[in-house]
Amino acid sequence: MELDEVVCSCLGVTNGMIKEAVDAGASTLEEVQEKTGAGTVCGACLDDVQNVIEQCVTERDK
């Protein structure tokens, strides 16, 4: 995963920012949205944000 890749264009949220939120304890889309704002403007990135969250949670819980 490219940590600098922007997932949420509206707010400039990157994979790395989502990973940081997950590493800090966020596990759901809603928790990541609260910490990063990702997907809260237009919603076009919600599937991508969810995929990154799932990948990060899987890696965190190994």
- The upper half-sphere exposure of residue 29, i.e. CA atoms within 13 Å in the direction of its Cβ, equals 11
User: Which domains are assigned to the chain?
Assistant: 6-60 (1.10.10.1100)
| Model confidence, pTM | 0.95
Question: Quick one: how far is CA 49 from the chain centroid?
Answer: 5
Q: pLDDT per residue over 14-54, tens digit each?
A: 999 999 999 999 999 999 999 999 999 999 999 999 999 99
- H-helix segments, the chain: 15-23, 29-36, 46-60
* CA–CA gap between residue 22 and residue 54 (Å, rounded): 9
The pLDDT assigned to 62 comes to 85
